[in-house]
Amino acid sequence: MNNVVGFIGLGSMGLPIATNLVDGYKLRVYNRTPEKAQSLVNKGAELANSPADVVEPGGVVISMLANDQALEEVVLSEGGILEKLGSGGVHISMSTVAPATAQRLAQQHEQQGSYYLATPVFGRPEAAAARKLWICLSGNEAAKERVLPLLNGLGQKVFDFGEQVGAANVVKLTGNFLIVSALEAMAEAFTLAEKNGIERTQVAELFGQTLFACPIYQNYGRAIAQEQYEPAGFKLSLGLKDVDLVLQTAQESQMPMPLASLVHDRLIAAVAKGRGEIDWTGLALGVSEDAGLK
């Protein structure tokens, strides 16, 4: 593939991913807040004035954006990437968005002769920095083959879910649903222990080493047990956005998801109380409040 890579979106996930690219590629970056690009510019990246300016016609552009609206603006608005990307270009979209959004954008790319790949990731900012992401991938086979070496350099494994472009986004939403359900379960379990005079951290340590010896229960469990919800690795407001997408996709699929509805209400309550900027483990505050502990 061409050695020029464009990168759009330098938030908590985008910045460490882009940092891992700057040594191996000629990197052009765009962010609505240009100051966030300074560390990359210091390492040789070129700062662009618009999304279109990161594009090398026929080249590769990566986006890591907060939501569907931001992604569509970067692609379709005046100064967006779609027209300039042109024939043979590949857009690697790492954003967590609705499968329907991915399918719609893929069709619009196809009309211009370019390719849209869905590549949402699992992992927090520290995993991104350490190239330890788990990457889900779906879309055109030839485009995937072209960019696979790049993706392999950003994570510990790429999971290919076929040519149906929205498939990787469905998988991402199911994963985030499983995580947020675990957060609620741990919050309830640890609070039940606390109400009965048992130290929360002891319970988290037991289960993190035995029945649930996996990163979600170990790392998130530690945060919930210690009630450490800042700084946010993944903002609670973004968690609510993702559960909104889960329920939207479930409705379109005629799939009842009562547990998703429960955690959705928990997250809405947290945002209503002004907690949208803390980590999504902070939903556990609502559990403690319901139990009369806060």
Given the residues 84, 144, 172, 235, select the one marked as catalytic: 172
Specify the DSSP element, H or E, that contains 127.
Answer: helix 125-129
Are 100 and 252 in contact by the 8 Å Cβ rule? The answer is yes
What's the Cα-to-Cα distance from 205 to each of 28, 198, 226, 229, 291, rounded to whole Å? Answer: 44, 12, 11, 18, 22
Sheet holding 60-63, edge to edge: 46-47, 26-30, 4-8, 60-63, 90-93, 115-118
Q: Which two tokens stand for residue 56?
A: 């090398």
Instruction: Specify burial of residue 142 (Cβ count, 10 A radius: 0-12, 13-18, 19+).
Output: exposed
The verdict on whether 273 is a catalytic residue reads: no
Inter-residue contact 86 to 110 (CB < 8 Å): no
Active-site residues: which are they?
A: 172
